[in-house]
Structure 1
Amino acid sequence: MFIKDIIQILETGDEHEISHVFEAKNIADILSQSMDMQQLSAARKQIKITVHPIPTIRVKCNGRLLSQAISNIIANAIKFSHHDGEVIIKLHVFSGHIHVLIADKGIGFESGKAELLFQKFTPEGKTGTDGEVSSGVGLYLTRKVIQNHGGMIAAFSEGKNKGAVFTIQLPIAN
């Protein structure tokens, strides 16, 4: 996100005030931009990013904000993965929505704490496997962006050291 967007949300608490222009964009392009933002981090930890075939689907979105939100999920997957790990990205189309799954085999989290990850300044924010710091607002802002796009985001883990899966659901553009 751009700094002004973050400051606006944190100061007002009103994520609806973010200015955005929505247009139909190919999800493959959005995902490509998101991955490009994280290539250096992945290379530093020798994390392999595996992308399963991406359908040519368009979503109505603000491309800048949506690619930044997805990039944040990829960044977290890298941050909480060990060296030589893997981040897997899959897309599925179901019932008029595109589902983006981003999975890692990193440190995971206790299953009952998934919702806490999306709170502003959550105490659940952790240090990454290489000492990377967490701001405590990344997933909060990511959820707000996804919701402003008519979507949903959820997190799943089978427990500590069992990885995590983040699922983003977005409506397909008409």
Structure 2
Amino acid sequence: MSRLSFRMLLLAAFMTVLTLAIGIGASFVITYLDIYDLTAEMPLAGWSELRAMLPDDPVIRARFQELFVRYSHTDIRPQDWFFIAITAAISTLLGGAVAFVFARRLSRPITAVADAAVKVAAGEQNVRIAPMVLAGEVAELVGSFNAMAASLDAYGRERSILTAGIAHEMRTPLTVLRGRLHGLIDGVIAMSDAEASTLLRHVDRLSRIVEELRTLAHAEVNALTLDRRMVDLTETAHLAAADLGPLTAEGDVTIAVAGAAPPLFCDPLRISQALTNLIYNAVKHAPPASQVLVSLEQSGAHVSIAVMDAGPGFAAEDHDRLFAPFWRANSPANAAKPGSGLGLSLALKIAQAHGGTITATNRKGTNGAIFTLWLPLHQAE
């Protein structure tokens, strides 16, 4: 039985007890009035004779009955009907008042939820129900609605940010492609292998953004397809570091891989993608002539792959936004760094699809940040 049903049952029981109490009280009042009528109309000699009838004797009992019938007026008189009507009215009013108070207390938050739901359906995302003194399921209903409205509001803001980020990231290559294609058509730019390579590079960038968005969308609805098999994570880390070698050479940054991890049942392409994104993010923030360290180890029932850089780290207030799509720390240096802004978001979604996660901390005693990919060691095939 739910708590709301139990409370309604208690209300019904209370109303029954209240009605019985009023009825019993009314019967006592009627009995008192009957006795009052008996003693008021009976002469003193009759009252003395009544008191003498205490012994248990049939003759005395018959005489007592005769006197009682003669003077007590046991038949229902008009004033008795009036008293019964007053008693019923008082019982109804008191019971109705109690029921109204309880019903009002229960219906007010439910009505507030219904009105707020209509506003949310109309597009108002900042609707919240004011705090009330509530308990039980009704309090849970109000709390759940406020949590849902807050989630919808946050989702709306994230969607706006995501849309703006998509437009920002795609605008630059599209603008370049449009300008250079117009130049080719007008004859201002000569067609050459170098020009074709430039155009192809921007097309590849657009394709990469679209593919990352598609992967992120599938991960959001738990529809990311995983081709699981036994994977050597140590080898995967070394291959990811080698693939990013040309990028690190430009900034004189080196990538070192240390430690080892046992084989894991996972999707090798997805894990490689997540690890590459973490290393690429570390390389972007690493200062010149520094090292990005990739450390693998087994920690209990998990495998951890930590990616450490020697960059500036991140502000404490930015921790909860590190994995938001297209989010960048508000600094000129970060604004100038390359990338689609989806790398960390994709890495986290891939880790979650494997039952793991990614944590981010600043390095203690030195500059830099640590992004650690955690994957459960034992997973069902």
Shorter-chain TM-score tier: 0.7 to 0.9
Whole-Å Cα distance in 1 between the matches of residues 236 and 330 of structure 2? 26
Aligned twin of 1:28: 234
Give the structure with higher Rg (CA).
2
Q: What are the superposed Cα offsets for residues 94-139 of structure 1, whole Å, 9 maximum, x if unpaired?
A: 112111111011121112312211012224376767x432322111
**Is 1:110 aligned with 2:311?**
no
Which structure: greater strand fraction?
1
Q: Tell me which of 28, 37, 40 is aligned to 2:243.
A: 37
| Partner SS state of residue 90, structure 1 | strand
Shift of 1:36: 2.2
Q: What are the superposed Cα offsets for residues 30-78 of structure 1, whole Å, 9 maximum, x if unpaired?
A: 21222122111111111122222324x1111110111011011100111
Shift of 1:15: 5.0
- Is there any run of 5+ residues in structure 2 with no aligned partner, and where? 1-207
The AA in structure 2 aligned to 1:31 is A
Show structure 1 runs of 4+ deviating over 3 A.
2-5, 9-13, 125-129
Q: Tell me which of 337, 341, 351 is aligned to 1:136.
A: 341
Aligned twin of 2:225: 19
Does the 8 A contact of 1:34 with 1:70 survive in 2?
yes
Does the 8 A contact of 1:127 with 1:134 survive in 2?
no
Q: Which moved more, 1:59-68 or 1:32-41?
A: 32-41
Greater RCO (CA < 8 Å, at least 6 residues apart): 1
Whole-Å Cα distance in 2 between the matches of residues 173 and 167 of structure 1? 18
Q: What are the superposed Cα offsets for residues 72-101 of structure 1, whole Å, 9 maximum, x if unpaired?
A: 110011101111011111122111211111
Q: How high is the sequence identity, in percent, across the aligned residues?
A: 25
- Is there any run of 5+ residues in structure 1 with no aligned partner, and where? none
The AA in structure 1 aligned to 2:236 is I
Query: How many residues end up aligned between the 2 structures?
Result: 171
The AA in structure 2 aligned to 1:132 is K
Which structure: greater helix fraction?
2
Whole-Å Cα distance in 2 between the matches of residues 37 and 125 of structure 1? 29
Q: Tell me which of 259, 264, 268 is aligned to 1:53.
A: 259
Whole-Å Cα distance in 1 between the matches of residues 316 and 266 of structure 2? 31
Does the 8 A contact of 1:9 with 1:15 survive in 2?
no
Shift of 1:167: 0.9
TM-score by length of 2: 0.41
The change in CA–CA distance for 1:163 and 1:54 in structure 2 (over 3 A counts) is: same
**Superposition map of 1:68-83 within 5 A:** 68-83=273-288
**Aligned alpha-carbon RMSD (Å):** 2.7
